[in-house]
Amino acid sequence: MTCENDAIALVAGGAGFIGSHLIDALLGRGWRVICLDNFQTGRFDNVRHLEREPRFDVCEADIIDPLPVRLARSRVPITHVFNLACAASPPHYQADPEHTLLTSVVGTHHLLQLAEQRGARFLLASTSEVYGDPEVHPQQESYWGHVNPIGPRACYDEGKRAAETLSFDFLRTARVDVRVARIFNTYGPRMRADDGRVVSNVITQALAGDDITIYGSGEQTRSFCYVDDLVDGLLRLMTHEQDYRGAINLGNPHELKVHELADLVVAMTGTRSIVSYKPLPIDDPRRRRPDIGIARRVLGWSPRVHLEVGLEKTIAHFAAEARAAADLPFVRSAVRRARSTGARRSTPSTVVAHYER
C-alpha cells in the first residue's frame, strides 16, 4: 500500500459539497491532491481556503471531454482517482439530463482509463439511487434495484448504474483496482442553498421564515448521513486491503420521514414558518435506508454523528451564508430578540443566535 505521504489523489468533482470535504481530509492526512472540476454545481469558494496550499492544485475541465493534456500527459504519479464528478441534486441533475448521463458514462470511462494508465486505485461515488424506488427494505448491496429507465431520474440512476458496470468491467479484467461506494443522502456545511435537496431547502426556508416545502405527504423516508462520517467511509473504502471488492453502502441507517426532518428543523431554528405541501416528484423513492453490515465488517465503519448534531452544524453554515449574502429577516430579528433578552440556547431564538456566532 502506498505510504500516505507519497499518495497523490485526483478528486474529480472536488469543488463540490462532498468532494471539498474529502480534499480537506486527504490534505490533513498528508496526501497531495489535484481537484478536477467543471464548476457546474461546485464552487471555488469550497476550496478557496486551500489557495496557498502547495500540495493542492485545481484543474478546470469537464470529464465528458478528453482529459486536459496537462493532466493526461503530466508525469505526476497519480496513485488514487476519486470520481465524485456528477451533479447530485434532482433539480440540478435533471436540468441537463444528457450531460448528467454522459458525465457518469463517458466521464467515468475517461477516469478509469487514466487510472489504468497510472496504475492508480479508483473509487466511484455511486448512489443509493441505483436501488431506485426499492421493493426491498432496508437496501442491501445484493439487491439489484427497481429503477424506471425512462423517467426523469433515469439520467442519474441509470448513469450511475452504467458507471458501476464500467468500473466492475475494469476490475474483472484486472485493469484497475476499483472501489464502489453507494452513497445514501448526505448533508452538511457547503451544501448549496439553491440545490433543491430537502435538507438545504428546509433549513434555508426556516431561516428565512418562508414556507417549508414538503413534497407529497411527507411520509416518504430517507436516512441522512453527516458529511464527516461519509468522508471517513470513503477514505476507509479507498485504502482498505481486504479481499472484498463488491459495492459498499455508505449511509446512516437512522431512517425518518421527511415531515419529521422538517419538524426537527422547525424546532431547532424556532422559525414561525408554516409547512406548504407540493406535489411529489415523479418516481420519488418512498423508502430508503442502508443496510451497512458490509461497511461495518469490511471497513470497520459506521456513522457517529447524530442527526441533531449534524443539523446544528449545517444550520450554522446556512445562517453564516445568509448573513454574508442576503438580508434574512427571520435571522436578523431572531438574533436581535435573543440578544435583547439575554436568553440562553434553550429558547428557539437563541438557537439561531448560536448559529450566528
Which residues are at the interface with ligand UDP (CB under 6 A)? 89-90, 185, 197-198, 201, 213-215, 220, 222, 258, 280-281, 284
Of 303, 161, 181, give the one whose Cα is nearest residue 246: 181
Spatial CB neighbours of 325, under 8 Å, sequence gap ≥ 6: none
CA distances from 149 to 90, 97, 160, 161, 281 (A): 15, 13, 12, 11, 16
C-alpha cell at 332: 436578523
Closest contact distance (angstroms) between CB of 187 and ligand UDP is: 8
Closest contact distance (angstroms) between CB of 197 and ligand UDP is: 3
Query: Which residue number, 107 or 348, has a Cβ lying nearer to ligand NAD?
Result: 107
Whether 156 sits among the annotated catalytic residues: the reply is yes
**253 contact, one of ligand NAD, ligand UDP, none, CB 5-8 Å limit per kind:** none
Query: Which residue number, 236 or 352, has a Cβ lying nearer to ligand NAD?
Result: 236
Closest contact distance (angstroms) between CB of 102 and ligand UDP is: 20
Q: Which position among 93, 131, 143, 156 bears the catalytic label?
A: 156
CA dihedral 238, 243, 249, 253 (to 10 degrees): -110
**328 contact, one of ligand NAD, ligand UDP, none, CB 5-8 Å limit per kind:** none
**155 contact, one of ligand UDP, ligand NAD, none, CB 5-8 Å limit per kind:** none
Closest contact distance (angstroms) between CB of 155 and ligand UDP is: 13
Q: Give the SS3 label for residue 181.
A: strand
**38 contact, one of ligand UDP, ligand NAD, none, CB 5-8 Å limit per kind:** ligand NAD
**291 contact, one of ligand NAD, ligand UDP, none, CB 5-8 Å limit per kind:** none
Instruction: Give the Cα separation of 268 and 203 in Å (integer).
Output: 10
Query: Which residue number, 32 or 289, has a Cβ lying nearer to ligand UDP?
Result: 289
The length of the chain in residues reads 357
Query: Which residue number, 182 or 334, has a Cβ lying nearer to ligand NAD?
Result: 182
Strand order in the sheet with 121-127: 56-60, 32-37, 8-12, 80-83, 121-127, 178-183, 248-250
Query: Which residue number, 86 or 334, has a Cβ lying nearer to ligand NAD?
Result: 86
C-alpha cell at 41: 454545481
Instruction: Give the Cα separation of 149 and 174 in Å (integer).
Output: 30
Closest contact distance (angstroms) between CB of 224 and ligand UDP is: 9
Contact (CB, 8 A) for 155 and 98: yes
Chain residues that interact with ligand NAD, rule: CB under 6 A: 12-13, 15-19, 37-42, 62-64, 84-88, 103, 107, 125, 127, 183, 185-186
Instruction: Give the Cα separation of 286 and 88 in Å (integer).
Output: 18
Catalytic residue positions, numbered:
156
